[in-house]
Structure 1
């Protein structure tokens, strides 16, 4: 069995730690692993970093330069260069647990799913607000709807390359700077009959940089997530159906903001409801056809 591990990168020094974590993976017997690093910078800035890591990593590393500043281009480059039975995605600021890949593969084998998602556990800096650390607002888990997972993410995922729902499927270039390209990718895969499973022990860790440990960053991200969901609803809604969806999302947003106000004395619950209200407001925006706000394509800077 052959596995490609895809790592999309953009000017991140943390890529070293990601590759080192992959170097010590527990790999099932008879499994060949190759790492694909897709450099999304205008210039091939990660090439030397990758070359310097080759001696520390026991797997073949394929470096691909795929400019520029559009994450969908990098993800598609990984799919285009993949030759294995499966493709696993991990972000360039994450580190994998030793059993990460093995757990994804076991779940893929036992379920026969087209895609398997694992959890991403946020690691907070000491300066992060107490309510943020207690509420764990940055960790990533799948969402179940009526007992099934209908969409996903690429920060911890395994794809069965040759399954019909994934054959020829690519990430939307138009969403490569806003985000939401993975949500759309998995949602369309699911609609095409691809089942999504969950491997709860396939854990990866993601440090939360100071620039993301803010209410403003969380609000912007939740709003964009809502915009993506609203735009996808718009694809299947027209006429009265669209206005019903707008009314429902607006009502949910108002309810969440009211709940946040009532829970003002409880920071975790207040922020949870407030951010959910912002997400539903984003749904309304998406249903009105407003394009997603751009979040990616430039280096994040810590607040001054």
Structure 2
């Protein structure tokens, strides 16, 4: 009987996936758990090979499948749906990304916290380790920070990179769980957790469930961070608009865009005075600009594969 399933959507990170799986093999827990890997690269299928080797060598039960429809949400949906179907006794479904590693007590802490607090959804901290040395302005950028909270109830979490979701949550939603409209922009996890919060599901934070994200070199540039800030603002706008009720609600969302422009300058000045970093000070301004871009239909697609691997 499998009590928990750890889901890993993967796209062209074979070495990262190998590192992630090794951290799962090192879990110190009395829980019976399985691992499910979804390879979202139908052409290369490197994750399929890595996962097959892992299951054969570790003896940990699990499954790996290929999701041929490209997209972040397609891969996550395939992972959670596969876990629901293949492991019907599992009450806890967790997710970790293929550029992350879990501390040895991660699984035990997450499940124990969910049980103790009767939480439907739980999240934990994600600390960043950089592929090459970076300055303080980049290392402490808002986009590289995790929630800082003690273990206990929390209003909501926003990302799937370190999360636990009970089976009963998925049973309350129809498939697909994550909206494919967010496939190439990102933000499908934030939209999903917003819907969960509106349905009344309970969230918890587990400060002991630590995960490390290994940040690749191509993300350690001012340009990448600035584009990510804009994208985050666009996601925030789209989710606000999606969940606005009636004409009045939609009008308030548009008014929020206007207000955010003025507030962003004030916030940027405060950040600059505190940190002395123009890069960090640009973040609130770019968030606001991202909201405006979203309202104009100007949507980024960073997860869209424009150069598929050779068969």
The 3 A distance-change label for structure 1 pair 137 and 172 is closer
| 1:8 counterpart residue number | 9
Give the drift of 1:140: 3.1
The 3 A distance-change label for structure 1 pair 164 and 156 is closer
The 3 A distance-change label for structure 1 pair 271 and 70 is same
Residue from 85, 92, 104 that aligns with 2:98: 92
Tell me the alpha carbon deviations over residues 70-108 of structure 1, each in whole angstroms, 9 at most, x when there is no partner.
011111111211131111000001110000011111110
When the two structures are superposed, what TM-score results if normalisation uses the length of structure 1?
0.87
Computed over aligned residues only, the root mean square deviation of the Cα atoms, in angstroms, reads 2.6
| 1:188 counterpart residue number | 195
User: How far apart, CA to CA, are the structure 2 residues paired with 1:58 and 1:289?
Assistant: 51
| 2:77 counterpart residue number | 76
- Which residues of structure 2 form unaligned runs of 5+? none
Give the drift of 1:195: 1.5
Give the drift of 1:173: 0.7
Q: How does 1:223-302 map to 2 (within 5 A)?
A: 223-235=230-242, 236=244, 238=247, 240-259=251-270, 263=273, 266-267=276-277, 270-286=278-294, 288-290=295-297, 292-298=299-305
User: How far apart, CA to CA, are the structure 2 residues paired with 1:188 and 1:134?
Assistant: 30
Conservation of the 8 A alpha-carbon contact between 1:25 and 1:98: yes
User: How far apart, CA to CA, are the structure 1 residues paired with 2:172 and 2:123?
Assistant: 15
SS of the residue aligned with 1:46? helix
When the two structures are superposed, what TM-score results if normalisation uses the length of structure 2?
0.85
Q: How does 1:199-238 map to 2 (within 5 A)?
A: 199-235=206-242, 236=244, 238=247
User: How far apart, CA to CA, are the structure 1 residues paired with 2:125 and 2:113?
Assistant: 13
SS of the residue aligned with 2:127? strand
Conservation of the 8 A alpha-carbon contact between 1:253 and 1:281: no
Q: Which moved more, 1:208-217 or 1:39-48?
A: 39-48
The 3 A distance-change label for structure 1 pair 110 and 134 is same
The 3 A distance-change label for structure 1 pair 201 and 294 is same
Give the drift of 1:42: 2.3
The 3 A distance-change label for structure 1 pair 284 and 37 is same
Aligned residues: 292
The 3 A distance-change label for structure 1 pair 142 and 10 is farther
The 3 A distance-change label for structure 1 pair 183 and 165 is farther
Conservation of the 8 A alpha-carbon contact between 1:228 and 1:292: no
1:118 aligns with 2:124: yes
- Which residues of structure 1 form unaligned runs of 5+? none
